[in-house]
Chain A
Amino acid sequence: MTTDTIIQTRGLTKRFGGFAAVNGVDLDVARHSLHALIGPNGAGKTTVFNLVSKFLAPSEGTITYNGQDITREKPAQVARRGMVRSFQISAIFPRMTVAENVRIALQRPTGFSFSFWRGEKVLTALEDRVDELLTSVGLIEWRNRTATELSYGRKRALEFATTLALDPELMLLDEPMAGLGQEDVHRISDLIRQIRPNRTILMVEHNLAVVADLADRITVLARGEVLAEGDYESIAANDAVIEAYIGGDID
C-alpha cells in the first residue's frame, strides 16, 4: 500500500533511565520531499534519527513505513525495505578500496552474499555499475585507492555513492555537512540536489543555510518534543523557535 506519507511516527518516545530524550514525537515525512530535522543541541534530533532508522528501540510509540508497522524490526531489515541511513562520522570501510566500498552495497541484492565457495569473479558483473556511481559523485579517478586515503569531503561523497548503490526509496542523512569546509558543503549540496528526484530524504542538519536551501519541510525539535513544523519561512518567523535558538545561529 502506498500513501503520500512514507514514514510516520506516533507518540515516539525514548527514555534513558528516567530521562526522556524523545517524548511523544509525531512525525510525518511526505513522499518525495526533503524533510529536515533541526533543533538546538540536546533537542533529541539524533535520537529520533536513530529511532526511525531502528538503530535504537523506542520505549513507546509506533513507526510505520509505507503504511507497514516497522516498530519492532531490526535495522538491517528496514534497510532491505529501502530505507538507508548515513552516519555523522563518515561511514566508509576504510581498508577496502573505493570501488569495493560501492560494490559491497551493490552485492547485497544479488543474493550471493552468503556464497563463501564462489570466487570474486561473480562480482565483476557489478563493476560497470560501480564505475557509473563513482563517476556520478566525481570519484572515478580514485577507484582503486584505499578509502582511508581520501579527504574528508571525498569520504562523504563515497558514502553517498555507497548509499545510492542500493537505490534507496528513503535516505536518512545524519548531519551530512558536519565537519566539511565551504567547498565540500557546496559539493555535497549539489549531490543532494542531484539525487533528489523520485526519492525521499530525511536529514538532520545543523547548517541552517543548507536547510533553507534544500528542505521542503522542517520539523523543529526542542527538549525531545516537536516545537514547530513548516517550511523555512514559517519556521524562521516562529517566536517559539527563535526563543529556543536564542544565542544560536538562526539568521
Chain B
Amino acid sequence: MIEFLGIHPGLLFGQVLIGLINGLFYAMMSMGVAIIFGMLRIGNFVHGAQYMLGAFAAWALLNLPDLFPGLGLPSLNYWWALVLVPLGVAATGALTERLFVRRVYNLEHAYGLLLTVGLALVIEGMFNLWFGAAGQQYGVPDALKGGLNLGFMFLPIYRIWVIVAALAVCIGTWAVIERTPLGAYLRAATENPDLVRAFGINVPRMLMLTYAFGVGLAGLTGVMAAPIYQVSPQMGQSIIITIFAVVVIGGMGSIAGAIVSGIGLGVIEGLTKVFWPEASSTVIFVIMALVLVLRPQGLFGKETQAHSGTDISVSRRESILENGRIWLPVLTVFGGAILPFIVYPVFAMKILCLALFALAYNLVFGYVGLLAFGHAAFYGASAYGAAHVAAVWGWPPELALLAGVALATAIGALFGWLAIRRQGLYFAMITLALAQIVVFYAVQASWTHGEDGIQSVPRGTLFGLIDLGDTMNMYYFVLAVFLIGFGFIYRLLRSPFGQVLKAIRENEQRAISLGYSTSQFKLVAFTLSAMLAGLAGGTKALVFQIASLADLHFMTSADALLMTLIGGVGTLLGPIVGAVIVVTLQREFAGYGAWVIVIQGAAFVFFVLFLRKGVIGSLEDWLGRRADRKREAG
C-alpha cells in the first residue's frame, strides 16, 4: 500500500470525504443563516435547533408506529422524510416568524439574537426532556446501503448520495437567488425594503417565506445528517457555533461565498483530523481569528461602512436607582448583616459570584453597547487558572485569585482585539466562536483534566491569617470581592473614561469626529469587563473548590446575558437583581433536569417580547412617571 507523508491513503481520503460532507452541511446551514440575516437582520441562533428538529422529525416518521401505538400509523422511510420534513420544519419556521421573530424586526439586533437564543434553549430543552441526552440511531435507507471498494478505501453509497444531493441543493439555492426574478426581489429587499414594498410586493409575507426557506434548509440538512450522526438534542448547539464562525469567515456578502467557505472549511477540518487530530475541533475558529486579522470583512464580504454601536441602556441618569453612593453602603450593610442569615451562606456566595459576573458583562453590553456572547471564556479561564495554582502549586487564595484574573484579562485583551474589528451581530458571533476555542482547549489539555475539571481546590488561608475553610470567613471574603467589583464599576462609569464610553454609546460617529479612537476605548472596556468576569470566576472556583467545563460552557455566557436582561440592561442594579432571580430559579428547578433550560429559554423570550427594560428599567420608568406627575402637580 502506498503511503503519503506516512499516512494511509484510506484514512486520508476517508477524512477528506467526511470533511467534504460536513462542509456541505456547513454550506447549507450557513446559506440559511446568511439569507435570514440579509433579509431580516436577525442572527438566527435557533438555526441549530431547527437542524436538530429536522433530524428528529425524520427519526419520528420512521418510528411512527412505536411513538403512537394504536393509531395504525405507517412507518415513513427516509424518502418520505426527505420531502415531508423540510416542508414541516419550514412550516414551524413560518409560525416562529409570525409569532416571535416578527416582533423584533424594529428593535436593535441584540434582541433578535436574544430571542432566538431563547427559542433554541426552549426547543433543545424540550427534546432533552422527551428523549434524554442520549442519541437515537437512524439507519441508512435500504436503497443506499453498501459501498464501493476502491482498493485503498471503502466508499459508502449513502455518502456519495449526500455529496451529490447537497451539492445540488447548494447550486439550486444559488441559482434561485442569483438568477431568478424571485431572487432579484429578495436581493433588492435586502438592500431597500421600502422600495420593494413600493413595487407592490407583500414584504411581510416575503420575510416570512424567507425565514421559512432558511429554516427549511436547516431541516433538510438535519434529515441528510440523521443517518451519519447520532440524532440527539445537543446536535444543534455545537453546529450553530461553527456555522457562525463559517459565516464570519465567508462574510454575509454572497451565497456563492457561503457555499465555497462552508465546503472549504469542512475539508480543512477533515484534513486537520488526519495531520493534527488535537487541533481539528478548533481549526475553523482559529482560521476565523486569522481572517479577522487579515481581512476583517470576511473572505467574500463587502467592505462596509463603520456602523455605530447600539444604545440599549434603559437607565435614567437622575434616578435614585443609579446612585452608587447610596447603594454601595446599602449593599454593604445588607450583605454583611442580613443576607448570610436569611439564606444559606453558600447560596449567598453563588449569588454574589454570579452578580459580579453579570455586572462585568453589563459593562460591555449595557454601557458600551457591544453584544458580547463569550464571557464564559473569561469566567471559566480564571476559574481554571486560580484552581490550578491553588491546587497544584499551592498558592494562597489571594495570589490564586490574582493569577486567575490575570489570565482572564490577557485572554480578554486578545479576544477583544480580534472581535473589535466587527460590529453588531458579528461581534456576538465572533466572541461566541472565540470562547469555543477555550472550551476545546480545556477538553484536551492535560492540566485541565477534561470532563472531571480541577477538583478539591483548597480554599487556603487568606494573607496567611484568615482560614477560608470556615464558611463565614469565606462568605465575607466573597462579599468584599463583590463590593470592590461593584464600587470599581460605579467609579469607572463616572470617570473621564466612563464619560467617553457614554459618548460612544450615544453617538459613536460624533465621538470619532471629536478625535476619540473609539475602538481603543471599546477594547479597554472589554478588557476590564473580562478582568471583572475573571474576578467572579476565580472567586467561584475558591468557593465551590472546583473549576469545570460548565464554567466555560456557552450556557454560562447565556446566563450572564439573561441576568442582565432580566434585571435591566445598562442599569447599575439590574445585573444584581437578575442574578438573584436566575440563581434562585436554577436552584428551584435543579431537580427537574432539562426544565431549567426550558425555563431560562422561555425567560429570554418573555423578557425580549414583553419586558425589555427588565425589572430595574421598568421600576425606573415607574419612578420617572411618578416624578413627572409630581412636577406637573406642583
Contacts and interface: CB of A to CB of B under 8 A. Distances in A.
Interface stretch (A61-69, A99-107, A225-233, A236-244): A99-107
B197 interface: no
Nearest to B494: A120
A94 B500 contact: no
Interface stretch (B16-24, B45-53, B507-515): B507-515
Nearest to A84: B513
Interface stretch (B204-212, B371-379, B516-524, B542-550): B516-524
B513 A53 contact: yes
Given A76-B515, A85-B513, A166-B514, A96 B503 contact: yes
Contact of B516 (A94, A110, A113): A113
Interface string A100-122: 10011101101011111111101
Interface in A52-100: 53, 55-56, 74-77, 79-80, 84-87, 91-96, 100
B513 A87 contact: yes
B514 A116 contact: no
A105 B516 CA distance: 9
Given A100-B499, A119-B495, A84 B514 contact: yes
B587 interface: no
A76 B512 contact: yes
B317 A95 contact: yes
Interface in B272-329: 305-306, 311, 317
A100 B491 CA distance: 17
A110 B498 CA distance: 15
Contacts of B513: 53, 55, 75, 79, 84-87, 91
B515 A95 contact: no
B507 A108 contact: no
Given A79-B513, A93-B510, A107 B499 contact: yes
A116 B521 CA distance: 10
Interface in A114-145: 114-120, 122-123
A162 interface: yes
A99 B265 CA distance: 53
Nearest to B528: A116
B133 to A, nearest CB: 44
A75 B306 CA distance: 11
Contact of B499 (A55, A74, A76, A103): A103
A49 B499 CA distance: 28
A109 to B, nearest CB: 8
Given A95-B317, A104-B500, A116-B492, A87 B512 contact: no
Contacts of A84: 513-515
Given A53-B513, A79-B512, A108-B515, A94 B507 contact: yes
A113 B511 CA distance: 12
Given A55-B306, A95-B317, A96-B503, A118 B496 contact: yes
Interface string B481-504: 000000000011011111110110
A205 B267 CA distance: 56
Given A91-B507, A94-B506, A95-B317, A80 B515 contact: yes
B496 A107 contact: yes
A122 B511 CA distance: 20
Given A55-B306, A93-B506, A95-B317, A105 B514 contact: yes
Contacts of A112: 496
A96 B528 contact: no
A95 B367 CA distance: 13
A157 B235 CA distance: 58
Contact of B512 (A75, A100, A118, A166): A75
Contacts of B311: 95
A120 B494 CA distance: 6
Contacts of A55: 306, 509, 512-513
Nearest to A114: B497
B544 to A, nearest CB: 30
Contacts of B512: 55, 75-76, 79
Which of A87, A93, A94, A123 has the most B CB atoms < 10 Å from its CB? A93
Contacts of B506: 93-96
Contact of A122 (B496, B510, B516): B496
B484 to A, nearest CB: 13
Contacts of A115: 495-497
Contacts of A96: 502-503, 506
Contact of A76 (B492, B516, B524, B528): B516
Nearest to A172: B513
Which of A53, A76, A84, A162 has the most B CB atoms < 10 Å from its CB? A76
Contact of B495 (A75, A86, A118): A118
Which of B311, B495, B498, B512 has the most A CB atoms < 10 Å from its CB? B495
Given A77-B517, A104-B511, A120-B495, 17 more contacts: A55-B513, A75-B513, A76-B518, A79-B514, A79-B516, A84-B514, A85-B513, A93-B506, A93-B507, A94-B506, A116-B492, A116-B497, A116-B524, A117-B491, A117-B495, A119-B491, A120-B494
Nearest first, the 5 closest Cβ-Cβ pairs linking A and B are A79-B515, A116-B497, A91-B510, A112-B496, A76-B517
19 contacts: A80-B515, A91-B513, A93-B502, A93-B506, A93-B507, A94-B507, A95-B311, A103-B499, A104-B511, A113-B497, A114-B496, A114-B497, A116-B492, A116-B524, A118-B495, A118-B496, A119-B495, A120-B496, A162-B514
Interface of A: 53, 55-56, 74-77, 79-80, 84-87, 91-96, 100, 103-105, 107-108, 110, 112-120, 122-123, 146, 162, 166
